[in-house]
Amino acid sequence: MTKAALRTLYSARKRELTTPETAEKSAEIFAHFQQHFSFKPGDMVHCFLSIAERNEVDTRLFLNYFFEQDVRVFVPKVAGADICSVEIFPDTVFIKSKWNIPEPESNIDCGLNSYTMILVPLLYADANGNRVGYGKGFYDRFFATLKKNTPKAGLSFFSPEEPVEDVSEWEVPLDYLVTPTEVLSFAGGTSNFTK
């Protein structure tokens, strides 16, 4: 299927999820993530902030876990046509952007080009790690600024079913996909933080 068709299909499937289903599936995704990956103090993770109105995977579970592990946490903030990466702390103040996305008040981009891992929002990913996002290209442009080997993990309520037919050569595939039932690796091996 094309990205446009998959975007329409999985946007509708996400909208059908109830609040309790979203919470349950988010907890299952988080449990699989914890079972599969380990982090040490000082690691640096870039994690998206969930948009509840879009029924996204609840990343508050991940953020709390990272803070408990003394992992440094960075989140995206929209800056024009791009996103910058802002470090956050347990007491960081958040505001809603014009798209209703929670963002830190700070505009200070950390300037990093490598992280221990990046947790990526998405609507769908296929069995090759090809991601279907919301169609604005923010993460594709962000990935282009990173070192090539920076691990990227998508968090999805849905396992791969259909291949993405119209993948552009400049698109960067995921290394991992975490769903309520499994963790898929597209990286061809394990990393230093895989259990």
CATH number of the domain at 36, please.
3.40.50.10420
For 41-71, the pLDDT digits (tens) are 999 999 999 988 889 999 999 999 999 999 9
Residue 194 lies in a domain: no
Residue 192 lies in a domain: no
Give the Cα separation of 9 and 31 in Å (integer). 26
| pLDDT averaged over every residue in the chain | 89
Can you say whether residue 34 is alpha, beta or left, with left for phi > 0 and alpha for psi between -120 and 50 degrees? Answer: alpha
Give me the pLDDT at residue 188, please. Answer: 61
Residue 191 lies in a domain: no
Model confidence at 190, pLDDT cuts 50, 70, 90, reads very low
Residue 190 lies in a domain: no
Segment (H or E) for 9: helix 3-16
Furthest-apart CA atoms within the chain: distance in Å: 43
Exposure string of 139-154, with b = 16+ CB inside 10 Å and e = fewer, is beebbeebeeebbbbb
User: pTM of the predicted model, to two decimals?
Assistant: 0.91
Give me the pLDDT at residue 107, please. Answer: 79
Give the Cα separation of 26 and 65 in Å (integer). 14
- What domain range is 28 assigned to? 3-118+126-185
Residue 80 lies in a domain: yes
Q: Alpha carbon 146 to chain centroid distance?
A: 15
> How many domains are there within the chain?
1
Mean pLDDT, residues 32-48 taken together: 96
DSSP E strands: which ranges in 97-141? 102-104, 117-120, 124-125, 131-132
For the cut 90, the answer to whether the pLDDT of residue 154 exceeds it is yes
**Which two structure tokens, joined as six digits, stand for 66?**
């990272």
